[in-house]
Structure 1
Amino acid sequence: MQRQLVESTSIKSIGYDPEDEVLEVEFHSGGVYHYVGVPPDVYEGMLAARSKGRYFGDFIRLRYSYEKVR
Structure 2
Amino acid sequence: MDTNIKPRTPIIMDSVESSQIAAIGHDPETNTLAVKFPANKRGISSVYHYANFDAAQFEAFKQAESKGSYFGQNIKRNVEAFPYENVTDLYADPAPEAA
SS of match in other structure, 2:73: helix
Separation in 1 of the partners of 2:77 and 2:30? 19
Matched, 1:24 2:42: no
Runs of 4+ in 1 over 2 A off after TM superposition: none
Q: Rg bigger for which structure?
A: 2
1:16 aligned partner, one-letter code:
H
Identity %: 40
Letter in 2 for 1:52: K
- TM-score normalised by L of structure 2: 0.68
Instruction: Work out whether 1:65 is the aligned partner of 2:80.
Output: no
- The residue number in structure 1 matching 2:3 is none
Which residue identity lines up with residue 36 of structure 1 in the other structure? A
Q: Distance in 2 between matches of 1:60 and 1:39?
A: 12
Aligned length, in residue pairs: 70
| Matching of residue 8 in structure 1 with residue 26 in structure 2 | no
Q: Which has the higher contact order (CA 8 A, sep 6+)?
A: 2
**How much is the aligned-residue C-alpha RMSD, in angstroms?**
0.8
TM-score (norm 1): 0.95
Q: Tell me how far apart the structure 2 counterparts of residues 56 and 43 of structure 1 sit (CA, whole Å).
A: 11
Structure 1, unaligned runs of 5 or more: none
The equivalent position to 1:56 in structure 2, one of 60, 71, 85, is 71
